[in-house]
DNA sequence: CGAGGGATTGATCAAGCTCAACGACAGTGG
DNA sequence: CCACTGTCGTTGAGCTTGATCAATCCCTCG
């Protein structure tokens, strides 16, 4: 991991695209970005580990990362697949709690890093930041709710279908945000089952898989898989 | 559902026990409780329904309720089993979003009800309330994380074991917060499988089930079920 | 007493897991 | 340039687990 200090403008552009800072105007964003350093990560480095103190806020701006826990049988469970531009572990950072899970890069990438102190200063000056934080937490909560619901959708195919529909919301095509391996884990499936679910969906003409590129061919057919039986 | 206005003192006692209002002193709590009405519910009444506007904050003070979603196949998934004294749907209420799920009483019970306006007024006067809210959301998020992890613990017995260990944290004994039916659903199990898991754990001498009363007999034996195999 | 809901038990079935083998591909080093 | 290696994805075969279906039991309550 290397730390660099590129121009504030570059950093500001990333910060601007974050919902949580959307109430700050340009000069304020620039002030904040003064405090931010940019970090470049190699694949499989840890952004943070479980139980570490959350002394800074990392904002993923390039590459992908996964957030995962280690279960009691030693296996790992992918909780979240992170794509840019997103804050990671922001709640723990604001609250000063230790991180509840691990976060590891799955590709090379880069983050913006803001020290917790600067963050708290800013949120005191701009109380709306904490409302944005609440909003963000709330969406994350709803995501988790969806995950739980999806996991209790027993059929592997329907789990995959709901996932695809969710990801493809903005367009007919998207790129799997991680190795199929990881996506399978995120969906609570073994790689083999995931693979079979894929071939079922694509042999049915609902979607097309080309490597990590997923194309929705027939949305109605895809939706029909949501109803088991 | 009946609305009553008991003495502010009675209401205040309930409000006091909520983490979210723990920064308010007695006179402030009393002011808040002036705004609160007390509602008495019959079994299976709805505290709120999915997509309803969250115009008030309900605080369960007696009885139990479940929060659940309706899945696309028509079945229901229990997201949360609520016991007193707890706020329900507080995030939606603060943010003014519609409720993301249904909440229904599973017994007769009572709630304190605070209009959204009064709540927002108070949180403006006492900004720490929003930090408490964030803290509460954060714990809920961690709960969900645990649920997701638990659901990917494939074995029914280990799922039940982790649940029991979690519930019995404060003492060797606890009461199932709902019908076994509902608890099974919450754990992502069919009632039959749940029942079999129970008999496996109790025939192994790890726990004892007497109706809805669960007693942990041998914590180590119980923990040994966490490791599949 | 009978009715109805919940819980349990038994028998069968199917979906996904496991294990194993194989193919595709990238990176490495001779 | 070509073996060698390791990772990832796919495919096949058999097995295990929980779901399903059905019957029974046990309460509570009218």
The token pair at B132 is 């408490």
The residues that bridge with B46 in the sheet, in sequence order, are B104
Please identify, among B130, B149, B168, the residue that sits at the C-terminal boundary of a domain.
Answer: B149
Same domain assignment for residues B199 and B142: no
**A8-50 confidence digits (pLDDT tens):** 777 888 888 898 888 888 888 888 888 999 999 998 899 999 9
pLDDT at B203: 95
In this structure, the answer to whether residues A91 and A132 fall within a common structural domain is: yes
**Given CB atoms, is B86 within the 8 Å cutoff of chain A?**
no
Report yes or no on A136 lying in a domain.
Answer: yes
The residue of B76, B87, B134 whose CB has the most chain A CBs within 10 angstroms, and thus the best one to mutate to test that interface, is B134
Cβ–Cβ contact A145 with B under 8 A: yes
What is residue B229's predicted lDDT score, i.e. its pLDDT?
A: 58
Tell me what the pLDDT averaged over chain A comes to. 91
The answer as to whether A86 is a domain residue is yes
Select the residue of A152, A188, A229 nearest B77 (Cβ to Cβ): A152
Domain count, chain B: 2
A229 domain-assigned: no
Phi and psi at B90, nearest 5°, equal -65, -35
Q: Which residues in chain A touch residue B144, judged by CB atoms under 8 angstroms apart?
A: 141, 144-145, 147-148
What is the per-residue pLDDT for B204?
A: 94
**Which of B149, B179, B198 is where one domain is finished?**
B149
Whether residues A6 and A32 share a domain: the answer is: yes
Residue A192 forms part of a structural domain: yes
Q: Does A17 reside within a domain?
A: yes
Q: Within 83-102 of chain A, which residues have Cβ less than 7 Å from strand D?
A: none
Same structural domain for residues A120 and A158? no
Residues 153-182 of chain A in contact with strand D via CB under 7 angstroms: 154, 179-181
Whether residue B220 sits in one domain with residue B165: yes
* Nucleotide in closest CA–C1' contact with B189: D18
- The low-confidence residues of chain B, meaning pLDDT below 50, are none
> Is B124 contained in some domain?
yes
Domain range enclosing B67: 2-149
Residues B12 and B52 in one domain: yes
CA of B155: nucleotide with nearest C1': D17
A120 located within any domain? yes
Which distant-in-sequence residues (6+ apart) come within 8 Å of A133 by Cβ? A20, A90, A91, A94, A123, B134
The per-residue pLDDT for range A135-186, each reduced to its tens digit, is: 889 999 999 999 999 998 779 999 999 999 999 988 899 999 999 999 999 9
B166 and B116 within one domain: no
B229 in a domain, yes or no?
Answer: no
Q: Write down the pLDDT at residue A229.
A: 59
CB A193 within 8 A of CB A157: no
Burial of B77 per CB tally in 10 Å (0-12, 13-18, 19+): buried
Do residues B21 and B97 both lie within one domain?
yes
Other CB atoms closer than 10 Å to residue A106's CB: what's the count?
Answer: 19
Same domain, A27 and A112: yes
Please write the tens of the pLDDT for every residue from B30-83: 888 889 999 999 999 999 999 999 999 999 999 999 999 999 888 999 999 999
| Total Cβ atoms within 10 A of residue A195 | 14
**Whether residue B64 sits in one domain with residue B34:** yes
**Residue A110 CB partners (closer than 8 Å, separation 6+):** A38, A39, A40, A41, A60, A61, A62, A63
Tell me if B195 sits within 8 A of B101, measured CB to CB: no
Q: What is the CATH number of the domain that holds A157?
A: 1.10.10.10
Residue of chain B with shortest Cα separation from A185: B152
Distance from CA of B19 to the nearest CA of A (A): 15
Mark which of A124, A149, A174 sits at the end of a domain: A149
pLDDT at residue A80 greater than cutoff 90: yes
B165 in the same domain as B71:
no
Percent of residues, chain A, with pLDDT higher than 70: 98
Instruction: Looking at the structure, tell me whether residues A141 and A47 fall in a common domain.
Output: yes
């Amino acid at each position: 991991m290397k730390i660099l200090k590129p121009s504030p403008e570059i950093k500001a552009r990333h910060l601007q695209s974050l919902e949580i800072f959307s109430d700050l105007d340009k000069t304020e964003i620039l002030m904040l970005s003064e405090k931010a350093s940019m970090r470049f990560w190699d694949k499989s480095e840890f952004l943070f580990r479980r139980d570490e103190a959350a002394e800074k806020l990392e904002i993923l701006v390039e590459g992908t990362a996964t957030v995962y826990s280690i279960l009691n049988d030693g296996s790992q469970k992918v909780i979240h697949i992170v794509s840019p531009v997103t804050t990671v572990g922001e709640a723990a950072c604001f609250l000063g709690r230790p991180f509840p899970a691990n976060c590891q890069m799955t590709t090379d990438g880069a983050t913006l890093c803001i020290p917790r102190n600067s963050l708290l200063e800013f949120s005191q000056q701009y109380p709306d930041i904490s409302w944005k934080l609440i909003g963000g937490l709330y969406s994350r909560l709803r995501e988790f709710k969806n995950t739980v619901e999806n996991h209790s959708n027993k059929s592997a195919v329907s789990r995959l279908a709901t996932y695809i529909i969710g990801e493809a919301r903005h367009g007919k095509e998207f790129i799997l945000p991680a190795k199929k391996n990881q996506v399978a884990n995120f969906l609570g499936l073994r790689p083999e089952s995931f693979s079979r679910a894929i071939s079922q969906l694509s042999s049915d003409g609902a979607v097309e898989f080309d490597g990590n590129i997923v194309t929705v061919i027939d949305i109605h057919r895809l939706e029909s898989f949501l109803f088991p039986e």
